Amino acid sequence: MPILTPSRIAVVVLTLSLLSFLWTFGLPHQPPTPSFPIINHDDHKDATKTADNFERPDFSFGPEQGIGAKTSLSEELKSIHLPIPTSTTANDIDEGTGEDGNNGGKKEEETQKSEATPLPSGLYTNATTTTISASPAAQTKPPLPVKFCKEVHGAENVMIIVKTSKAELDKKLPTHLKTLLSCVPNFAIFSDHSGEIEGFPVYDALSDISNKTKDTHKEFNEYVHMQHYPDLKVDKVDKELDKWKMLPMVYKAYMMRPHSRWYIFIEADTSLSWTNTLQWTNRLDYRIPYYSGAPTFMGSTKFAQRGSGIMLSYGALKQYAKGYDERYEEEWEKRVGKECCGDLVLATALADSRVEFYNSFPMLQGETPTTLDWTDKQWCTPIVSWHHMSQDEITRVWDVHRNWTTKHGWDVPYMGRNAFEEFVLPHLEETKDEWDNISSDSKIKPPDRPPPEAEEKPKPKTENKDPSEPNTDAGPKDTPAPEPNGKPPSAHTPRDSINFSKLSSVVDVAADSATQCRALCLSVEDCLQWKFYTKNSAGLNNECHLGKVIRLGRHDGLGKGEVEMWTSGWMMERINRKRLEWGECEEVRWKFNQ
């Protein structure tokens, strides 16, 4: 009988088919894990790591960690503990309520069995959870607040770094600790000294500056004095000393947490929106070397203002750290002594590290809500930061954003339109005494004639009369200037299109009174606001200013009843028409303003 028969061949084929089926579908296999594309080709190993495996250090250190201690960077890093998180991850948290999005019923029951630790000033939802018991006699526990502002999607990927000084630490940092930093899981405070505030460590940004540099530059005299006398009271921030903090602070922040995706550096007078920050960074690829902020200029160098906030990505700091190790001692440190300010030197160091600047104005602001020139440019843009904010203003903005996330969740951005309607619109009036609304597009002074009070009879005006030329050179407040704290590009340009010759009769008397100044604004089609300045009863130095953008401004700071006074007003009907033109913001403007 032959060995290979049709029946035997059929049995062999069926057996092999069955084994192949079991091998493919019946046995467990490790699925292939895709790797990230390599952004930096000089380091293949790090480029394939995913951020989901990054370990999260706890920056909530106690006061026992060396108050006033002079430690090196390596010693500081040894004190940082990197616990492996065992709690629910941020991806499992519902962004609207802060509750677990997976296995809702089971997780809800587990939440009730654990003790919730409320944040000092965190955000809480209106959601409640109850425990259903089989026993009719069991009492329902009261709803527990959900600690969720630290667990919002993306929060664990962002590190906030606050730069301050001994002169302002106790005055300004407590506000940040009670507001923004209460919701930030990873943050660090850098100053010109080491210490602690409310149990959190303060790191010395200047500790690794070379002794040669400290001996050469006189601004380090005060720094050395502070090291010898830790309890020394300092009244004023030394700007010359402050510029030396920037480069080593950025490097140390990266070394403390090298696997964060985003690093945002702010000042003590910066107000940062946590919800807008997270929505913004969640949209971007952290592997791309981003260096972003509100731009200002020094000569031909464009750089991010430190006070508006500077955003750096993991990709950017990875390249910067390599350049720092190679060039800081021999090149960059010497450059700091020759320049005016730290944010300028940071821009040049990042350029040396092949990191490009991205313009994020008006998301990152160099103004406050009251001094900003409001136009359609900001209307549908999420405002991430404000600068030059008082502690009360920082607290108020934080409260508004807390209410916003409670009502709308963490996926709806807080835009310029919302800020305008909250902080500006309620204070606009047709006329407001003792108020300077910063109108600055045109300035009109009285012509060379006696003031109205000294005239016995009104003199008839002739068509051939040549009125004095108004000053049309007054530029907008935010025009960029080559200064360390220069402003970002303004949303408008100075007025140069008004034909004042056709308004001669109105212009002649515009500086006589607030009423006449308002009349001139009413005669100019694009005038949205005006202000009138009077210095003495004779009216010789009066001024009328017109503005074609909206600014709220501030109290004039002069005592009531003083002869010298500002009076301001807004064209409310025109402003309301502008608001309608700018729209309801169906499309949010997240793009960089390149």
Q: DSSP class of residue 545?
A: E
Q: HSE, CB side, 13 Å, CA atoms: give it for residue 141.
A: 16
Instruction: Calculate the alpha carbon distances from 136 to 105, 133, 139 in Å.
Output: 20, 7, 8
**CA atoms of 570 and 556, how far apart (whole Å):** 16
| Nearest to 539, CA basis, from 501, 570, 510 | 510
Judge contact between 355 and 316, C-beta under 8 A: yes
Judge contact between 525 and 546, C-beta under 8 A: no
Tell me the average pLDDT across 7-13. Answer: 82
Tell me the average pLDDT across 513-542. Answer: 87
**CA atoms of 191 and 249, how far apart (whole Å):** 9
Instruction: Calculate the alpha carbon distances from 150 to 158, 186, 334, 423 in Å.
Output: 11, 9, 40, 27
- pLDDT greater than 50 at residue 256: yes
Residue 211 burial (CB < 10 Å; 0-12/13-18/19+)? Answer: exposed
Between the CA atoms of 531, 537, 539 and 545, what dihedral angle is there, to the nearest 10 degrees? -10
pTM: 0.69
Q: 38 or 283: whose pLDDT is higher? A: 283
Q: 109 or 244: whose pLDDT is higher? A: 244
Which strand (E) or helix (H) includes residue 221?
A: helix 220-228
Percent of the chain with pLDDT over 90: 53
Is the Cα dihedral 135, 138, 143, 145 positive or negative?
Answer: negative
**CA atoms of 566 and 514, how far apart (whole Å):** 9
| pLDDT one-digit tens code per residue, 166-206 | 999 999 999 999 999 999 999 999 999 999 999 999 999 99
pLDDT for the residue 396: 97
**CA atoms of 412 and 414, how far apart (whole Å):** 7
Q: Which domains does the chain have, with CATH numbers?
A: 155-417 (3.90.550.50), 428-459+466-474+495-582 (no CATH)
**CA atoms of 573 and 576, how far apart (whole Å):** 5
Terminal Cα-to-Cα distance of the chain (whole angstroms):
85
pLDDT for the residue 565: 85
Judge contact between 48 and 35, C-beta under 8 A: yes
- Dihedral pair phi/psi, residue 464, rounded to 5°: -85, 0
pLDDT for the residue 501: 54
Name the residue with tokens 């999005």.
101
Tell me the average pLDDT across 37-41. Answer: 44
Instruction: Compute how many other C-beta atoms are within 10 angstroms of the C-beta atom of residue 120.
Output: 10
pLDDT for the residue 95: 37
User: How confident is the prediction for the chain on average, in pLDDT?
Assistant: 76
Burial 159-188 (b: 16+ CB within 10 A, else e): bbbbbbbbbbbeebbebbbbbbbbbbbbbb
| pLDDT one-digit tens code per residue, 277-333 | 999 999 999 999 999 999 999 888 899 999 999 999 999 999 999 999 999 999 999
pLDDT for the residue 538: 57
Peptide bond connecting 362 to the previous residue in cis, omega within 30 degrees of 0: yes
Q: DSSP class of residue 115?
A: P
Judge contact between 257 and 272, C-beta under 8 A: no
**CA atoms of 374 and 423, how far apart (whole Å):** 12
Tokens, residue 92:
């499992």
Name the residue with tokens 């203002």.
305
Tokens, residue 8:
């035997």
> DSSP secondary structure string, 421-474?
IIIIGGG--S-EETEE----SEEE---SS--GGG-SSPPPP-TT--PPPPB---
Instruction: Calculate the alpha carbon distances from 559 to 12, 433, 564 in Å.
Output: 104, 11, 9
How many residues comprise the chain?
A: 594
Q: 5 or 93: whose pLDDT is higher? A: 5
pLDDT for the residue 230: 83
User: With DSSP H G I counted as helix, E B as strand and the rest as coil, what are the percentages for the chain, rounded to 5?
Assistant: 35, 15, 50
| Nearest to 364, CA basis, from 273, 480, 290 | 273
| pLDDT one-digit tens code per residue, 70-107 | 344 444 444 443 333 333 333 343 433 334 444 444 33
| Residue 202, beta-bridge partner list | 189, 195
Is the Cα dihedral 57, 252, 306, 50 positive or negative?
Answer: negative
| Residue 544, beta-bridge partner list | 444, 532
Judge contact between 187 and 181, C-beta under 8 A: yes
**CA atoms of 470 and 448, how far apart (whole Å):** 12
Instruction: Calculate the alpha carbon distances from 543 to 324, 445, 509, 512 in Å.
Output: 53, 5, 11, 8
Tell me the average pLDDT across 258-283. Answer: 97
**CA atoms of 12 and 141, how far apart (whole Å):** 67
Give 197-203's long-range contacts (Cβ < 8 A, gap of 24+): 197/169, 197/170, 197/173, 198/174, 199/60, 199/61, 199/62, 199/63, 200/59, 200/60, 200/61, 201/59, 201/61, 201/65, 201/66, 202/164, 202/169, 203/76, 203/252
**CA atoms of 531 and 474, how far apart (whole Å):** 14
**CA atoms of 557 and 83, how far apart (whole Å):** 52
- pLDDT greater than 60 at residue 336: yes
Tell me the average pLDDT across 494-500. Answer: 51
Cα angle 335, 340, 341; round to 5 = 85
Q: How does residue 448 score in pLDDT terms, banded at 50, 70 and 90? A: low
